[in-house]
Amino acid sequence: MPNKTKKRNLSKTQKKRVAYNYRYYYFKKYPGLIHGHLWFCSQCGKPLWNKSSVQVDHILALGAGGVNRVINTVAICGKCNLRKSDKVGFLGHYVVRGYFAKIVEVVLFGVSKVTSFTFSSAKSFILVAGIAITVFLLFQFFK
């Protein structure tokens, strides 16, 4: 579902952003845990419940040479997205955390697809809660 916004009078970065609907393709590739209701913020590790609370962010900003593809996007909470903006951070702090989050994301969503978890049983919910706590603690360690 490509974006059909007019491309006139846009900067080079804006044209990249409009050319590929990264949010649509992000949710298509990473539909969320627990029947599409759970993601994790790439910067603080906070659980994000429901799509409406998830903002999709470029790990390496388009203006800094990042690509406008799903591989360069992660889930992020609104507070962290405002703080991060298009910054790279000290010694690439935001970028390192973004790519670490991408690895965690690929593993989490890969496990849920391969094992075909439905997360409907109590055991599955406890497993996801354990993963959420582990991810949150890892993010606190890397602050």
Domain count, the chain: 1
Domain that holds residue 66: 12-141
Spatial separation of the C-alpha atoms in residues 69 and 54, rounded to whole Å: 17
**39-98 pLDDT tens trace:** 888 888 888 998 999 999 988 888 788 888 888 899 999 998 888 877 666 556 777 777
Q: Within a domain: residue 4? A: no
Whether residue 2 lies inside any domain: the answer is no
Burial class (CB in 10 A: 0-12, 13-18, 19+), 74: buried
Average model confidence (pLDDT) across the chain:
75
For the cut 60, the answer to whether the pLDDT of residue 7 exceeds it is no
Flag whether 33 is in a domain: yes
Helix extents (H) in 43-92: 78-84
- In sequence order, which residues have a C-beta less than 8 Å from that of residue 63 and are 6 or more positions away? 13, 86
Q: Is residue 6 part of a domain?
A: no
| Any domain includes 1 | no
Predicted TM-score (pTM) of the model is 0.64
48 in any annotated domain: yes
